[in-house]
Structure 1
């Protein structure tokens, strides 16, 4: 890896780490607030909390695409 690729990789990892940390902090703050502002969560979402959460879906799709890109580059150039 050259310096540019290493810098981009470190930047991507830093953004992902910050995003995950921020998501966890906001989730904990939301649990701490006991207000009646939100509506009832549908039953099918309550049964599949992780599968129906858009944040976890976004992370899953990102890592799947990242692995696909890594394998594509590995097969193409090596």
Structure 2
């Protein structure tokens, strides 16, 4: 592995860990707010709760980009 690949891998790992921790904190905050304020959700969000959630979209985009980078490295690095 080259030095640049290692640095990019560490940066990607830090971003993923940070976003996971942030997601848990936001989820806790939302559950605390929901206990106080229970509002009606938009019908479009109710129909597609996962595709309308920006956190899930961010994780899906990160997973696709990570896989694309892994496949790129697999086909370009000569062993």
Distance 2:75 2:9 in 1: 20
**Structure 2 gaps, min length 5:** none
Aligned length: 76
Structural mapping, 1:1-78, within 5 Å: 1-33=1-33, 34-35=36-37, 40-78=40-78
**TM-score (structure 2 length as normaliser):** 0.71
Distance 2:71 2:9 in 1: 16
Moved beyond 6 Å, runs of 4+: none
**TM-score (structure 1 length as normaliser):** 0.72
Deviation, structure 1 residue 42: 1.2
**Structure 1 gaps, min length 5:** none
Q: CA-atom RMSD, angstroms?
A: 2.2
